[in-house]
Chains A and B, each alone.
Chain A
Amino acid sequence: MTSHREAPSISRDPVADNTDLYAFVSPDAPDTVTMISNFVPLEDPAGGPNFHSFGDDVLYGIHVDNDADGLTDISYQFRFTTTFQNPGTFLYNTGPISSLTDPNWNVRQTYSVTKVTYGVEDHESQTLGTNIPCPPVNIGPRSTPNYSALADAAVTSLGDGVTVFAGQRGEGFYVDLGSIFDLAALRPFQAAHLIKIPGSDNYDPSNPSAGVSGTKGFNVHSIAIRVPKTHLTSDGSTPSDVMSAKSVIGIWTSASRQRVSMQASADQEGHDSGPFTQVSRLGMPLINEVVIPLGKKDSWNLSSPHDDSQFVSYYQNPEVQNLLPILYPGVFPNLAALLTKAPSSRPRADLVAILLTGIPAGLIPGFQNNTGSVLSDYLRLNMAIPPNPATSGNNPGSTDPSRVGLLGGDLAGFPNGRRVFDNVTAVELRAIAGATYPLVAAYTADGASGVLTDGTTNDVPYLSKFPYLALPHQGFLHYHDPNSPNA
């Protein structure tokens, strides 16, 4: 998954586990940028009576670097508070929930939003909103009969062009977990895999090349904020020149906990103490998942993007690159030949550009999202590039080239930021397999590198309006039984 349960420590702390980060020019409000940070991986929609929520003890942040120095200039920070209307019942709700003030709704979360602007010597905090309601989770037709209206009511304007939403959403990331983590098998290409399996072991014998999204039917908790572009540029200007450095921002997200946590006992309350320290972070998808090795994953989560030069060797020589010619013999002959050279003689400058510095001008006509020489794992968004009108509905077909962003010729897509529908798994697989290496070296990419995919797509439609991610799956109609009618 892009960053779901990706490191040993954070896999045991779901409410602080960053799963996905999105940042894009809002398709229906092109003067603004939408940033979405997801948490709580693989939420089962039926997970009551204590349904999933944000952590009251977690400091959530979405951060922006707008002057290419690898340091955060603006942070949007989110803190949550849970209240029980009636602690005398075990129920999340005592009747249908028809509004965000419905007395039947027992377990509620509200949140605050603080904008922190960092200067050279100090920083300034501005509270943008307090007591902002989250919607309830989507329980089922008796408890949350008009869920769409409840979710819409939780979209909150904070003034000055800023809009926020925090609550449950349908998982927007699609990936064939079961196949990829079974020795990097890609179902569309599994006939070429080193380890053959009987056809009857395929999930769908009638269509063995179809991917099976392992995130289908699950929910996440999303924090979404839409802000005017002028709030994000270093000088308050409106970005209009694609080739200007001022048009590019780096975005990353984090979750932090206080240093000390004392567990409650039968006769003493628990207590958290000390400054907040980062326990999870996310910029580019899939990096801590499959690029950073096991022994470094926890320290990667604790470190700052400003210090990412310490991890550069893993970006220059990713393990997946080295596995592909072994697991798919004969499919990547040019990559196999490249790998016969010493790693020091073939550093993947294309991957470093895509993942750590942004793509400099001159490699792709009319495009750049470079933030200088400081190596930092960010999503990088060139805000001067308008959204693609063809994808304003946010649901391009599964084979639409827009799904693979820049590789499909769509400058508005990943790795220029990341839209909710972008097929980041395919883009990164293709790049790692060598499809982008010719941008920086005399190299002919293997044909297979240009078509790699896990064969999955989203299971429910994205929204064409903020917060863009789909409504969450409800618990009542959620099945694990593959023979059930709605499975």
Chain B
Amino acid sequence: MSEKISRRSAIKALGVAGVALAAVPYLAKVSALEEMSGPQKSSPATSAAQHSADSPHEPLVLFVKGDKILGYRGLNEIPLQDASLAGMLNAKFNGATR
């Protein structure tokens, strides 16, 4: 399935996360949204998205490694490549404790 994630949707999704609120100024720089793609008929698991409506109120889970950020919300996986945002998130969480 080939599914483009709009910049507006990505910003909106990140806003839900709370942890990224301070990053909003940086999000304007986000321009390298990768296209989610795969062989149309070879990924039956991905079609499970059909079982569930979009889930704007689902929490956002972020996986940050280097300058790559993977966001998970509902049944979506949102890949980003943004060194400044990744750096800011790392700085925000370095040394942070509950």
A residues touching B (Cβ–Cβ < 8 Å)? 59, 61, 63, 69-73, 75, 77, 79, 112, 114, 116, 118-123, 125, 254, 256, 258-260, 262, 271, 273-278, 304, 306-307
Query: Are A273 and B44 in contact (CB-based, < 8 A)?
Result: no
Bound state CA distance, A119 and B47, in angstroms? 12
A–B pairs, 7, beta carbons within 8 Å:
A59-B48, A61-B44, A69-B41, A70-B42, A119-B40, A274-B72, A274-B77
User: Distance (Å) between the CB of A182 and the closest chain B CB?
Assistant: 37
Nearest CB in chain A to that of B73: its residue: A273
Query: Are B47 and A125 in contact (CB-based, < 8 A)?
Result: yes
Partner of B42, one of A59, A256, A273, A304: A304
Query: Are B41 and A273 in contact (CB-based, < 8 A)?
Result: no
User: Which A residues touch B40, using CB under 8 A?
Assistant: 71, 118-123
Bound state CA distance, A59 and B49, in angstroms? 11
Bound state CA distance, A253 and B58, in angstroms? 29
User: Distance (Å) between the CB of B53 and the closest chain A CB?
Assistant: 12
Query: Are A114 and B61 in contact (CB-based, < 8 A)?
Result: no
User: Which A residues touch B63, using CB under 8 A?
Assistant: 260
Query: Are B73 and A77 in contact (CB-based, < 8 A)?
Result: no
- Given A122-B40, A274-B73, 18 additional A-B pairs, CB 8 A: A59-B51, A71-B40, A72-B44, A75-B44, A77-B44, A116-B44, A118-B41, A118-B44, A118-B47, A123-B1, A254-B44, A273-B59, A273-B73, A274-B72, A276-B45, A276-B75, A306-B39, A306-B42
In the complex where A114-B50, A125-B47, A273-B58 touch, is A72 in contact with B42 (Cβ < 8 A)?
Answer: yes
Query: Are A260 and B45 in contact (CB-based, < 8 A)?
Result: no
In the complex where A114-B51, A116-B50, A271-B59 touch, is A259 in contact with B44 (Cβ < 8 A)?
Answer: no
Is B9's beta carbon under 8 Å from chain A? no
Nearest CB in chain A to that of B50: its residue: A125
**Contact count A vs B, C-beta below 8 Å:** 91
User: Distance (Å) between the CB of A291 and the closest chain B CB?
Assistant: 22
Interface of chain B, main secondary structure: mixed
Query: Are B61 and A256 in contact (CB-based, < 8 A)?
Result: no
Bound state CA distance, A304 and B40, in angstroms? 12
Is B46's beta carbon under 8 Å from chain A? yes
Query: Are A79 and B51 in contact (CB-based, < 8 A)?
Result: yes
User: Distance (Å) between the CB of B8 and the closest chain A CB?
Assistant: 21
Bound state CA distance, A71 and B41, in angstroms? 5
User: Which A residues touch B75, using CB under 8 A?
Assistant: 258, 274-276
Partner of B77, one of A79, A122, A275: A275
User: Which B residues touch A116, using CB under 8 A?
Assistant: 44, 47, 50
User: Which A residues touch B58, using CB under 8 A?
Assistant: 273
Partner of A276, one of B39, B41, B48: B48
Nearest CB in chain A to that of B60: its residue: A273
Is B43's beta carbon under 8 Å from chain A? yes
Bound state CA distance, A292 and B61, in angstroms? 35
User: Distance (Å) between the CB of B32 and the closest chain A CB?
Assistant: 20
User: Distance (Å) between the CB of A324 and the closest chain B CB?
Assistant: 35
Bound state CA distance, A79 and B1, in angstroms? 21
Query: Are B44 and A63 in contact (CB-based, < 8 A)?
Result: yes
User: Which B residues touch A75, using CB under 8 A?
Assistant: 44, 47
Within 8 A of A (CB), among B1-58: 1, 39-51, 58
Is B87's beta carbon under 8 Å from chain A? no
User: Which A residues touch B48, using CB under 8 A?
Assistant: 59, 77, 256, 275-276
User: Which A residues touch B51, using CB under 8 A?
Assistant: 59, 77, 79, 112, 114, 125
Query: Are B45 and A277 in contact (CB-based, < 8 A)?
Result: yes
Bound state CA distance, A94 and B73, in angstroms? 39
Query: Are B41 and A275 in contact (CB-based, < 8 A)?
Result: no
User: Distance (Å) between the CB of B58 and the closest chain A CB?
Assistant: 7
Q: Which of B1, B44, B46, B74 has the most CB of A within 10 A?
A: B44
Bound state CA distance, A63 and B49, in angstroms? 17
Is B84's beta carbon under 8 Å from chain A? no
Query: Are A274 and B42 in contact (CB-based, < 8 A)?
Result: no
User: Distance (Å) between the CB of B39 and the closest chain A CB?
Assistant: 6
Partner of B45, one of A71, A256, A306: A256
Nearest CB in chain A to that of B75: its residue: A275
Query: Are B76 and A275 in contact (CB-based, < 8 A)?
Result: yes
Query: Are B77 and A259 in contact (CB-based, < 8 A)?
Result: yes
User: Which A residues touch B50, using CB under 8 A?
Assistant: 114, 116, 123, 125
Nearest CB in chain A to that of B3: its residue: A275
Partner of B46, one of A70, A121, A273, A276: A276
User: Which B residues touch A256, using CB under 8 A?
Assistant: 45, 48
